[in-house]
Amino acid sequence: MDFEFSEAERDFSRQVEAFLDEHETPDVMDVTRENMAQIVDTPARRAFMKKLAAQGWLGMTWPKEYGGSERSGVYEYILNEALARRGAPQIGKGVGIIGKTLIRHGNEKLKREFLPKIINAEIEFAVGYSEPQAGSDAANMQLRAEKTEGGWVLNGEKTWTTSAHFADWYWVGARTDHEVKKHYGITLFLIPMDHPGLTVQPMPTIGDEITNQVYFDNVDVSDDYVVGDLNKGFQYISEALDLERFTMFTFSPIHQRVEELVDYVRGEERDGEPLKNDPLVRSKIAELVTRTEVARVLGLKFVAASLAGGKPPTCEASEYKLFATGLSQRLANATLEIAGPGGQLRVHTPEAPLRGRPEMSYRYSVIDTIGGGASEIQKNIIARRKLGLPKNF
């Protein structure tokens, strides 16, 4: 398999880097904001995404009839990795999850209403799958949707909803049939976040980011805002999660952190001796660099599988997400150990090693192993779908 980019793809990469050089500002780009924290949560970041949209780079893999340019998915990969490398907002849920699902399964009203806004960076979404009793097991969600004339009424609770405190619309799964197996009674809805029946309660995380609990009190939704077919929401969610596991857990921040650690080791001394001469440090660096290359190739393997067409490749997404987030934790642990006691100083502390990034990465890497389906879920997917192991073993 050839993992090298073509000349056209390398030229696009140069265009993206030049654009990012031109628009780099600290209120938009911050490399200490890890992976899922690279979101469009401020006016400055929204303005940046509008500039990105003006380049024609949002939704560029979409069909032309919906405003895209039908470019290969590798261009979207190059763009998203470049954004993540700079700590800029990533293309996110609108383009990568909601937009692609609406193109495949949405009715014409939803396509007309949402796709132009997504591709022009006019709208932000929150995604509501997890519940107190349905974390990584999305099929167990119990948010209740009861049929009314012309629509539905939703009651219940969602948790761990990143973006709910600033999003415009809520992409949410609810149980519309309690009589069938749990995977077949879920439907997806689109709900405005300013709906009077929604209450958003912020929940600060260990990684200094905000996630949210969202309470539903007689939230009415028109039939027009049902996504796809009734009771097929879990199938759509599964497709979307494959995209999330890849697009929301980018490789380039890991690579950037490894390079930063290597540079630190090259120039640092401990007890009067160069740190780079310590055999334990050298061994740890060699291991991290090797694993980083494995993560890079797994990511490109997902891209290659996606280019084959059809649904997003489930096993490749799980393999990449499991390995990359595990590597991120290994890297965070090693960086904190190598930095020594000073590595515990808070991020952006001037005198801290590596700008205080070690402690931030250490805290945030825990979150990455949970978002988009916890590591245990990824192992089960690989075991059953790739290795053919029985469900109970």
Question: 151-158 and 144-148 as β-strands: parallel, antiparallel, unpaired?
Answer: antiparallel
Q: What is the pLDDT of residue 365?
A: 87
Residue 315 confidence (pLDDT)? 81
| pLDDT for 37 beyond 80 | no
pLDDT of 346 higher than 70: yes
Q: Are strands 198-204 and 125-128 parallel, antiparallel or unpaired?
A: unpaired
Interior angle at CA 326, CA 10 and CA 368, nearest 5: 80
Please provide the CATH number assigned to the domain covering 7-124.
1.10.540.10
Rounded Cα distance between 212 and 164, Å, is: 6
What is the architecture, at CATH level 2, of domain 126-231? Answer: Beta Barrel (2.40)
Q: Which residues of 14-42 are buried (b: 16+ CB within 10 A; e: fewer)?
A: eebeebbeeeeeeebbbbbbbbbbbbbbe
In the predicted model, what is the mean pLDDT of the chain?
89
The residue written with tokens 């980011």 in the block is 209
Q: What percent of the chain has pLDDT over 90?
A: 59
Predicted TM-score (pTM) of this structure: 0.87
b/e 194-209 (16+ beta carbons within 10 angstroms → b):
ebeebebeebebebbb
pLDDT for residue 178: 87
Sketch the domain layout of the chain as residue ranges.
Answer: 7-124, 126-231, 251-386
Q: How confident is the model at residue 242 (pLDDT cuts 50, 70, 90)?
A: low
Is the pLDDT at 392 greater than 90, yes or no?
no
Q: Mean pLDDT throughout 125-153?
A: 88
For the structural domain made of 251-386, what CATH number should be given? 1.20.140.10
Residue type, 291: R
The pLDDT assigned to 115 comes to: 97
Q: Where are the alpha helices (DSSP H) in 87-231?
A: 92-93, 100-105, 108-119
pLDDT value of position 229: 94
pLDDT at 371: 75
Mean pLDDT calculated for residue range 273-277: 94
The answer to whether the CB of 262 falls within 8 A of the CB of 337 is no
Return the higher-pLDDT residue of 147 and 313.
147
Q: What is the per-residue pLDDT for 320?
A: 87
pLDDT-derived band of residue 135, with 50, 70 and 90 as boundaries?
Answer: low
- In tens, the pLDDT along 171-224 reads 999 999 988 888 889 999 999 999 999 999 999 888 888 899 999 999 999 999
pLDDT of 244 > 80? The answer is no
Residue 259 in this model has a pLDDT that exceeds 60: yes
Query: Which whole number is the average pLDDT over 241-253?
Result: 72
Question: Residue 24 has what pLDDT?
Answer: 92
Put residue 186 in one of left, alpha, beta given phi > 0 → left and psi -120 to 50 → alpha. beta
Strands 210-222 and 226-227: unpaired
What pLDDT sits at residue 367? 82
Residue whose tokens read 């929150």: 126
pLDDT, tens only, 297-332: 888 877 766 655 556 677 888 888 899 999 999 999
